[in-house]
Amino acid sequence: MRATLIYGAGDIRVEDVPYPRVQDPTDAVVRVVRSCICGSDLWPYGSRPATEQGDRIGHEFLGVVEETGPEVSRVRPGDLVVAPLAYADNTCVFCREGLHTSCPRGGFWGADGVDGGQGEAVRAPLADGTLVKLPVGEDSELLPSLLTLSDVFCTGHHCAVTAGVDMRTTVTVIGDGAVGLCAVLAARRLGAERIVLMGRHRQRTALGREFGATDVVPERGAEGVARARELTGGEGTHTVLECVGTRPAPEMAFGAVRDGGTVSRVGVPQYEEGPIGPEMFRRNLTLTGGVAPARGYIEELLPDVLDGVIEPGRVFDRTVGLDEVPDGYRAMAAREALKVLIAP
Amino acid sequence: MRATLIYGAGDIRVEDVPYPRVQDPTDAVVRVVRSCICGSDLWPYGSRPATEQGDRIGHEFLGVVEETGPEVSRVRPGDLVVAPLAYADNTCVFCREGLHTSCPRGGFWGADGVDGGQGEAVRAPLADGTLVKLPVGEDSELLPSLLTLSDVFCTGHHCAVTAGVDMRTTVTVIGDGAVGLCAVLAARRLGAERIVLMGRHRQRTALGREFGATDVVPERGAEGVARARELTGGEGTHTVLECVGTRPAPEMAFGAVRDGGTVSRVGVPQYEEGPIGPEMFRRNLTLTGGVAPARGYIEELLPDVLDGVIEPGRVFDRTVGLDEVPDGYRAMAAREALKVLIAP
């Protein structure tokens, strides 16, 4: 079969690889119906040292179960399922608390001998815990929005939840990428009435407004922070959803947040240290967030997607076949595409 | 009258200064009955550049109101009152939310022309908002514990509250200073049943055990973290109360906390940057805390002090007169004294 591998910065290849098979009794093999490229895939695409051996990549997919190991009972061949960005047993103490990304038996796609999602099929470990059955057919028009439950919408939701967004909180979202727009949508869904979106890409911020942003701040850096604060009487917003991950982002986030407020970040930090000194302390700011335990949110969010209450799949603005995946990476890295859907 | 001034590192002097008087209509003049030295006073005592002009110091005191401005109505001459570590109007939107340290009209003692607490008397701005009347006489045996409501016990309480301590959370407290011990007491008061105290000073950790610590870890650094994690099956505790403020403390705190857990810090950070990179992100850790808005906690905590349910005043292990304050600083800096009470 064909699958996507990364060999280094800018070097994405689609190659023939062995078709997956059940290895462990808790495995399932899933034929991928839809996959996509994540903003976090762009970090290795931008900087990964070149290697002779490529690594499988991709951690967002939905597909049809083809085969299951003898210990799999909750999904069956023929089921359409969505996979969260990390596999997990869904039974340990961390999973029961909703922190599936810390499951001791779990892990991430495309690492440690586990397949990546950007291919024709995937061996899914811990299938009973990981995969969630979708009550639609593989021809459903809802597939793009359902696919966002793998990562991008759950990540925006995680950002809003950990920030404590509700109807009483004002919100600033930093970043008009797919995660930032999903954070807007999630904040609105949780009741926020004032949502300031910081982003300068007009098509993206236009979608942000449709998702619920009440204000858009195109200015960057200190100027953008000043503008965002102006919108809230100089105080800043109760919560800031930081959906970028680069080093200036925490400074901007702390600049835009109100005293006593919370910055939640879901952009993978591209830095080791950050500004958590006396200023953050004096203002009683909280820093939270992290990699989204998507598995824990899927059942909660699924009904709103099925009912069309939310349409997070609108973040996909380009669809490619598997052989066009390298160009999909290029287009996303060049900000020509917001988020690329893959129909293998 | 006599008051304490700091002229530089290691240079504390008790000098004659003018007796305070009402300057603004919202002022009160308070004759100090008890004051004390704070661990945070030791930072300037350790490193403040020498100056020709000294600055008043001290931010914890209780005393008797002697005079009030025409706009003061909630406290009257003769009242015994306690002052929180920051003055505030107690009416603005931040104060109403309990974040008195961010009151736009408020400020800190010993700065911007406002008296420090380590003297015979203090002009208290915004007296109606700041001062809390105590229903005891100035000869009460409860004065030491009541004085801790100025700062040290409220600070430990703030640490536990912002960390989310309750009966279901396991707790690690880093630091066996007065704040750390108060954090133990506060965590126990909030219902925590497993409290690991990291500290190596045996007299202090002994008091920590009386305050509610169930385990004591004397090892420092990585060894201490490993030991603390062992006590919780290798997972770490749900919350870590960081009561030190030096640069290794955040590393230790993140090392000792459980995935998905919260580090709250109330030791003034002696660093500008800290380790908030991919590791914190992957583990979904939260960093919170800050300078304690003590004013917002006093009414809630006062009954337990008056009833003797808690005795945070036990952190005082030395009492000095005003002229002995320089030696009090020396003793605290040398860790000969845990916390020094001043009876002017």
CATH number of the domain encompassing residue B232: 3.40.50.720
* Res. A344: pLDDT tops 90: no
Report the alpha-carbon distance of residue A314 to residue A145 in Å, rounded. 7
Residues A35, A114 share a domain: yes
Residues A132, A11 share a domain: yes
Give CA angle at B264 (A290, A230), nearest 5°.
70
A209 pLDDT band, cuts 50/70/90, is very high
* A97 at interface of B, judged by CB pairs closer than 8 A: yes
Residues A201, A75 share a domain: no
Residues B277, B201 share a domain: yes
Report the alpha-carbon distance of residue B36 to residue B33 in Å, rounded. 10
Please tell me the predicted confidence (pLDDT) of residue B239: 98
* Res. A180: pLDDT tops 90: yes
Q: Is there a contact between B178 and B314 (Cβ–Cβ < 8 Å)?
A: no
Average pLDDT over residues A170-183: 98
Q: Is there a contact between A26 and A41 (Cβ–Cβ < 8 Å)?
A: no
Residues B211, B273 share a domain: yes
* A114: Cα within 13 Å, side-chain hemisphere: 23
Q: Residues of B213-233 as b/e, b for ≥16 C-beta within 10 angstroms?
A: bbbbbeeeeeebbebbbebbe
Residues in B touching A273 (Cβ below 8 Å): 273-277
Contact yes or no for B269 and A276 at CB 8 A: yes
Q: Which two tokens stand for residue B342?
A: 């001043």
Please tell me the predicted confidence (pLDDT) of residue A50: 95
Contact yes or no for B287 and A284 at CB 8 A: no
Closest Cα to residue B134, out of B150, B118, B116, B157?
A: B150
* A104 at interface of B, judged by CB pairs closer than 8 A: no
Q: Is there a contact between A283 and A259 (Cβ–Cβ < 8 Å)?
A: yes
Please tell me the predicted confidence (pLDDT) of residue B33: 98
Average pLDDT over residues A86-107: 97
Residues A161, A147 share a domain: no
Q: What is the pLDDT of residues A251-294, one digit of tens each?
A: 999 999 999 999 999 999 999 999 999 999 999 999 999 999 99
Which residue segment(s) compose the domain that A146 sits in? Answer: 2-151+293-342
* Res. A185: pLDDT tops 90: yes
The interface residues of chain B toward chain A in range 201-260, judged by CB-CB distance below 8 A, are: 250, 259-260
Nearest chain B CA: its distance from A187 CA (Å)? 19
State CA A221 to chain mean position distance. Answer: 24
* A273 at interface of B, judged by CB pairs closer than 8 A: yes
Q: Where among A289, A307, A325 does a domain terminate?
A: A289
Out of A250, A281, A288, the one facing B286 most closely (by C-beta) is A288
Average pLDDT over residues A36-42: 95
Pairing of strands B257-265, A237-242: unpaired
Residues in A touching B99 (Cβ below 8 Å): 259-260, 284
Give me the amino acid identity at B327: D
Residues A176, A230 share a domain: yes
Average pLDDT over residues A89-95: 97
Pairing of strands B257-265, A257-265: unpaired
Please tell me the predicted confidence (pLDDT) of residue B344: 87
* A10 at interface of B, judged by CB pairs closer than 8 A: no
In terms of residues, how long is chain B? 344
Residues B198, B97 share a domain: no
Task: Point out the residues of chain B with pLDDT beneath 50.
Answer: none
* B99 at interface of A, judged by CB pairs closer than 8 A: yes
Residues B13, B146 share a domain: yes
* A268 at interface of B, judged by CB pairs closer than 8 A: yes
Across chain B, where does the E strand assignment appear? 2-8, 11-16, 28-36, 55-56, 61-68, 80-83, 86-87, 107-108, 121-124, 132-133, 170-174, 194-198, 215-217, 237-242, 257-265, 286-289, 318-320, 340-342
Phi-psi region of A261 (alpha: psi -120 to 50; beta: other; left: phi over 0): beta
Residues A283, A301 share a domain: no
Domain at A321, CATH number: 3.90.180.10
Residues in B touching A101 (Cβ below 8 Å): 282, 284
Out of B101, B271, B277, the one facing A272 most closely (by C-beta) is B277
* A179: Cα within 13 Å, side-chain hemisphere: 27
Q: Is there a contact between A131 and A75 (Cβ–Cβ < 8 Å)?
A: yes
A320 pLDDT band, cuts 50/70/90, is very high
Residues A60, A11 share a domain: yes
Contact yes or no for A272 and B285 at CB 8 A: no
Phi-psi region of B74 (alpha: psi -120 to 50; beta: other; left: phi over 0): alpha
* Res. A239: pLDDT tops 90: yes
Q: How many domains does chain A have?
A: 2
| Interface probe with B: pick from A286, A295, A297, most Cβ of B within 10 Å | A286
Report the alpha-carbon distance of residue A318 to residue A330 in Å, rounded. 12
Sequence-distant (≥ 6) Cβ neighbours of residue B6 within 8 angstroms = B12, B13, B44, B45, B48, B54, B55, B57
Q: Is there a contact between A240 and A256 (Cβ–Cβ < 8 Å)?
A: yes
Q: Where among A289, A310, A332 does a domain terminate?
A: A289
Please tell me the predicted confidence (pLDDT) of residue B228: 93
Residues A324, A204 share a domain: no
Q: DSSP readout, A169-204?
A: -EEEEE--SHHHHHHHHHHHHTT-SEEEEE---HHH
